[in-house]
Amino acid sequence: MTDTTTPSESLKSRPAFSVLSFISQYGVILTLLASVVTFAILNDRYIDPGIRNTLNIASPLLLLALGLTAVLAMGDFDLSVTGIQSAAGAIVVLLIVNHDWYWIWAILIGLAFCLVAGVVNGTLVSYIGMPSFITTLATGLILFGTRYESADGRNITGSEDLPDIYRDFGVGQPDPWLSLHTPVWISIGMAILLWLLMSKTEVGRYMYAIGGNPEAARLSGINVKLLRASGFVIVGAMALVAAVTSTARTASAVADSGFSTLLGAYAAAFLGAAASRRALFNVPGTVLGVIFLQAVDRGLILEGYSTGVRDIAKGCILLLAMAFTRIGASRR
């Protein structure tokens, strides 16, 4: 059968190029590239070794953002993630430094604590029906308060007592190929595992189905309660890995609020969703969001800007990314 479509009709059937659609789809990536080029021109220390150092420092943030990606994809929030990280870091360091525990057993106890915290959050939200935003805000405050009181508000330091093998999780020797430190490779490994789960398995498809319409997902036979609860367990596991890499790098468990880290993790996840064609939370997008925020932050630091200015810049970037998302949604 011959094709009777004329060239003029074929051209008419093709969608016309739209600047707004192009911006909505590639705006975040283009802004990242423009930021990197601009800062590289302004300061020759920005690229090397700055990029590698930035990736090393950003590893805990990436791990937390990855955990949040799992719950956000199902329409939930977890504001306790930095509280879990802070408490787990204190537990691990205290057991090693003050009680002479072998580092593996200390990490396993920290992992058990994080998983229990995730199960508690998941049970309260998924099975009892409490709203995730308020519930995890409450559990996060409880964990921060417990962490603060357990050490009288002091940092728990152990630079001389933490074994070298534990410290390697936070610093370690750079690999001979890309000169990346151990935390970066740990973060890459966790990102790949979560990407495989969410993008290449039936469970991942169920997670996105729950995020789209939980009632329809339930009626189709998906165990919505179990999967939603599992998302909070994933957050707990990622918080443990973030706690180990951060305490190993600084040789201490810092008693801070974690507020800026929490906002940074959420900003990275939402930036990643904005960079997605379908505006879905996804692992590659979250990785891109963390790199974006850290690239801008390092550039502003090198230019001598204060913390307040850097926070303002990151807030403006997030607003711009949300605007891109809305433009794309309106065009579709």
DSSP secondary structure, 109-134, as one string: HHHHHHHHHHHHHHIIIIIS---HHH
CA–CA distance, 158 with 95 (Å, rounded to integer)? 11
pLDDT reported for residue 32 = 75
Q: What token pair was written down for 28?
A: 């975040």
The answer as to whether 59 is a domain residue is yes
**Sign of dihedral through CA atoms 247, 300, 187, 73?**
positive
Residue 248 domain-assigned (yes or no):
yes
- Structural domain count of the chain: 1
Residue, of 180 and 19, whose pLDDT is higher? 180
Q: Is 266 contained in some domain?
A: no
Query: Which pLDDT score is estimated for 234?
Result: 96
Burial of 267 (0-12, 13-18, 19+ CB in 10 A): buried
Per-residue buried b or exposed e for 291-311, using 16+ beta carbons within 10 Å of the residue's own CB: bbbbbbbbbbbeeeeeeeebe
pLDDT at residue 214, as a whole number = 92
* Residue pLDDT, tens place only, 217-260: 999 999 999 999 999 999 999 999 999 998 888 877 776 656 77
> To the nearest whole percent, how much of the chain has pLDDT over 70?
82
Classify residue 163: in a domain, yes or no: yes
Give the pLDDT band (50/70/90) at residue 328. Answer: low
Which of the 8 DSSP states describes residue 14?
S
The percent of residues in the chain predicted with pLDDT above 90, rounded, is: 42
Is residue 119 in some structural domain?
yes
pLDDT of residue 110: 94
Residue 305: pLDDT band (50, 70, 90) is confident
Under 8 Å between Cβ of 300 and 321: no
Domain membership of residue 306 (yes or no) is no
Tell me the pLDDT band of 207, cut-offs 50, 70 and 90. very high
What's the N-to-C CA distance of the chain in angstroms?
34
Q: Which residue has the higher pLDDT, 39 or 257?
A: 39
Which of 33-47, 146-160, 193-207 is modeled with the greatest confidence? 193-207
**Which range of residues forms the domain containing residue 92?**
51-256
What residues form DSSP beta bridges with 156?
A: 253
In this prediction, residue 14 has a pLDDT band, given cuts at 50, 70 and 90, of low
Give the pLDDT score at 193.
96
pTM (2 decimals)? 0.87
Q: Which amino acid is at 144?
A: F
Predicted local confidence at residue 325, as pLDDT: 64
Report the alpha-carbon distance of residue 306 to residue 324 in Å, rounded. Answer: 27
Assigned domain for 90 exists: yes
Of 274 and 133, the structure prediction assigns the larger pLDDT to 133
Residue 175 predicted with pLDDT over 90: no
In sequence order, the 6+-apart residues with CB closer than 8 A to the CB of 245 are 59, 60, 63, 169, 170, 182, 183, 186, 187
pLDDT at 46: 72
SS3 string, 254-291, reads: CCCCCHHHHHHHHHHHHHHHHHCCCCCCCHHHHHHHHH
pLDDT score of 59 more than 70: yes
pLDDT score of 294 more than 70: yes
Whether residue 279 lies inside any domain: the answer is: no
Alpha carbon of 195 to those of 68, 204, 271: distances in Å?
A: 13, 9, 17
Helix (H) or strand (E) holding 253: strand 252-253
Provide the pLDDT confidence category of residue 152 given band limits of 50, 70 and 90. low
Hey, is 252 helix, strand or coil? strand
- pLDDT of 280-291, one tens digit each? 899 999 998 898
CA–CA gap between residue 227 and residue 122 (Å, rounded): 9
Per the CB < 8 A criterion, the answer to whether 181 and 49 are in contact is no
Please indicate whether residue 117 or residue 317 has the higher confidence score (pLDDT): 117
Average pLDDT over the chain, rounded to whole? 83
